[in-house]
Chain A
């Protein structure tokens, strides 16, 4: 993978743009295929849709049935079985190479909504199976029934969260079918066009109803209310806000409201047990959590794990209620966290109540 990353970095001049990297991948893939076709013409059959055994390679010497001696023909051809093995392996490798960028696009466009790892793996493995099935049953009326079986056989134990996931699955079947009938050119175009159209559709928020309120209008106000006037509590960035569904945003706002009450104290003036909320994101909860809690034990008066949100396909989140010591500051806690668990924590934010925030602001 490091070699591959290096190649991609060289090809894209270290660009992080997904579209540029996708273009580079396809250019490299097509270049390699062209080299392969030039030096090994038999692979042309993979792209032409023409089956290997349909027309004999000519000119070829015919055996003379009148003589007993077998003559080796001038065009040395591989035995049929070796040819079939080469073709089959090439078809399956081709499906993997063509579905790889599809999985990247899928994971990229599902990053904020979340995706199932099983779906990603299915996208890569399913077309291999499909191409193998097609290679076996082609030239047969059973192919028509097999196609129905392929589609019916792709069932999911969990319901697809998004109908667009089904489109990805059908793409996987299509690429597998095209590869199976040795029409890798069709498979290439299918993969390429699908990926670029999907990326463009995703980036442009294609299909949004212009008459409906924008995501920003629907839930940005509750989130801005949570922000302090001095901006200590950060409002999630615009992309994150727009990516949230109304239900998710409401749940987030409710959470902040509950936590705010815990740390801000009641209206009766009672001193709250906690004066801050520590929000940590990490992909290694079992390793990071003990280290985080050691830091909290050493640097806070008291702390409590309020919520652990474990996500699949994106980092998990830990919410701690903390009471900062009067002798400590937010920087001290965050610095200690970075030193102890910096390699396992993706981000750490500490949201203070108003009183503590005001004290820190005057101290600086």
Chain B
């Protein structure tokens, strides 16, 4: 009886430990990863220094997200250039190696994964801030793979006047940039509103940036502009704002002057919700799953 049982255990161990297909897949993947990295580097090198600012050429990569990131919303980069994204309805944060197309890790907010309408992510000096559409900021830290990290909630109380749909960090102020998809109140009619909100625990008063909608839709077929993501360019300090409803992308100065606005390819962007910019000229746009899988699309970007 013991011999039978022992044989079963050994067979089970051998089956799970030895998997030739797994080894072959790993070898293939490693070769592909190296190719992806070199392809991206070549694409970046091909961008000429002169030319109009904004997106240059076609997308250079499009990394499709797994099922639990189907509602990929905000994107943000750390100071070292690592990309993080978050889910919309569920407090999942993921690190994405955008240069090689690898989902590095995922971790969750809270022991019982926090559920809210998360709409934006910003990273400031190692502090992670995730904001909901009602203006509640969940502050947390970077977690290990599959870790459940604790969080603290800061309520901006902007929920009544602002439907939050984007978050970024401006270190020069320093403050969080809170973009409103819809700014409620008659005083905001015809304007896109971005709040500059002091970092939790820092001194300072919130301030407001108002941009006339007309300036954001000039030259386009649209009459409205509903921000769905915002990011600060690490080099120029300008703000890049995307609008999911209108499929537009715009760059404006910190003072609110619109430099340019361009349409996003509709076939590539079903619902762009997140935007990030790297120091070496890559624009990343995160899309929720809409007729296509959720994805992070890479473009060459000229400031």
Residues of chain A having any CB pair with chain B under 8 Å: 3, 6-7, 35, 39-40, 53-56, 58-66, 71-76
Contact = CB atoms under 8 A, between A and B. Distances in A.
Contacts of B13: 39
A74 B94 CA distance: 18
A53 B64 contact: no
Interface stretch (B97-105, B167-175, B212-220): B97-105
Interface stretch (B14-22, B132-140, B177-185): B14-22
B108 interface: yes
26 contacts: A39-B13, A39-B17, A40-B12, A54-B68, A54-B113, A55-B92, A55-B106, A55-B107, A56-B66, A56-B103, A62-B96, A62-B101, A62-B103, A64-B36, A64-B62, A65-B64, A65-B293, A66-B62, A71-B29, A72-B25, A74-B22, A74-B26, A74-B29, A76-B19, A76-B22, A76-B25
A120 B22 CA distance: 46
A53 B67 contact: yes
B152 interface: no
Which of A58, A62, A71, A72 has most chain B Cβ within 10 Å? A62
A31 to B, nearest CB: 11
The majority secondary structure among interface residues of chain B is mixed
A55 B108 contact: yes
A146 B13 CA distance: 39
Interface in B78-110: 92, 94, 96, 101-108
Contacts of A60: 66, 102-103
Interface of B: 1, 9, 12-13, 16-17, 19, 21-22, 25-26, 28-30, 32-33, 36, 59-69, 92, 94, 96, 101-108, 113, 145-146, 292-293, 295
Q: Which 7 A-B pairs have CB atoms at the shortest separation, nearest pair first?
A: A65-B62, A74-B29, A62-B63, A74-B26, A56-B66, A72-B25, A62-B101
Contacts of A76: 19, 21-22, 25
Contacts of B66: 56, 60, 62
A61 B29 CA distance: 8
B36 A59 contact: no
Contacts of B62: 64-66
A71 B67 contact: no
Residue of A56, A61, A71, A73 contacting most chain B CB atoms (<10 Å): A61
Nearest to B90: A54
Given A39-B13, A74-B26, A55 B68 contact: yes
Nearest to A49: B112
Contacts of B65: 62
Nearest to A63: B64
B103 A58 contact: yes
B102 A39 contact: no
Nearest to B107: A55
A224 to B, nearest CB: 50
A8 to B, nearest CB: 12
B104 A58 contact: yes
Contacts of B67: 53, 56
A6 B69 CA distance: 51
A9 B293 CA distance: 57
B1 A3 contact: yes
B102 A59 contact: yes
B13 to A, nearest CB: 5
Nearest to B26: A74
Contacts of B104: 58-59
Given A60-B102, A64-B63, 18 more contacts: A6-B1, A7-B1, A39-B12, A54-B92, A55-B108, A56-B67, A58-B103, A58-B105, A59-B102, A59-B103, A59-B104, A62-B65, A63-B64, A65-B293, A66-B60, A66-B62, A71-B32, A75-B22
